[in-house]
A = this chain, B = another copy of it.
Amino acid sequence: MEKKLVYTGKTKDVFALENGNYLLKFKDDCTGKDGVFDPGENSVGLTIDGVGDVNLRMSVYFFEKINAAGIKTHYVSADLADTTMEVLPAKVFGQGLEVICRNKAVGSFRRRYGEYIAEGADLPSYVEMTFKNDEKGDPLVTKDGLVVLGVMTEKQYDDTKEMTQKITKIVSDELAAKGLVLYDIKFEFGYGADGSVMLIDEVASGNMRVYKEGQYVDPMTLSKLFFA
């Protein structure tokens, strides 16, 4: 099929396909700073051989499970030899929105609300959304905020929250089966022409904070453990 490069991203290139779908080419470039891999960073910091392949493989693994559970995603198919994934067209919310689901109080949640909760305390799959904006430290935005800013409808918010909790449970259960504990995970969602919400982007080790026997597992190690 003919393909046309439409966007060169930090970790993926995007091609338009003749059938109206898009092709994501997973690259070996990682976000990070000073040569250290950091999924939270928004600039490319280093290149690691095989990262694109492992991120694609984990994404395919989870997208297939999520689709099978009846939760809409942009995933259509993948070509592992070519490190590409075919996806449905989707619009993103605003100028980039991160949807975070937290099972444990760590990271920025704990920094914000440390007076009210102990480090690592259980959370009941708490969902929050932040705008991607490095300069502003990815500001938190409420459901009402998203609605008044015209970024999401109330229904899209409610659907996104419910889908996020279901997807997090799928990922968390898969990890638990390997002795791994999911602390939190971030997703991107988009919407189709009819406004219906779908999970987009990727579901890879850089999107989640995972612990094993009380010790943090970095994304590279997580990918290795996951496919061991």
| Chain A residues within CB distance 8 Å of chain B | 94-95, 111-113, 115-117, 123-124, 126-128, 131, 133, 136, 139-145, 148-151
Contacts and interface: CB of A to CB of B under 8 A. Distances in A.
Copies of this chain, count:
2
A144 B116 contact: no
Given A123-B148, A133-B115, A148-B123, A143 B142 contact: yes
Contact of A131 (B95, B113, B144, B150): B113
A148 B133 contact: no
B131 A145 contact: no
Nearest to A114: B136
A44 B144 CA distance: 33
B148 A126 contact: yes
Given A140-B142, A142-B140, A144-B127, A149 B95 contact: no
Contacts of A128: 142, 144-145
A158 B166 CA distance: 25
Contacts of A115: 94-95, 131, 133
Contacts of A124: 148
Nearest to A161: B144
8 contacts: A112-B136, A113-B139, A113-B145, A113-B149, A126-B148, A128-B144, A140-B142, A143-B143
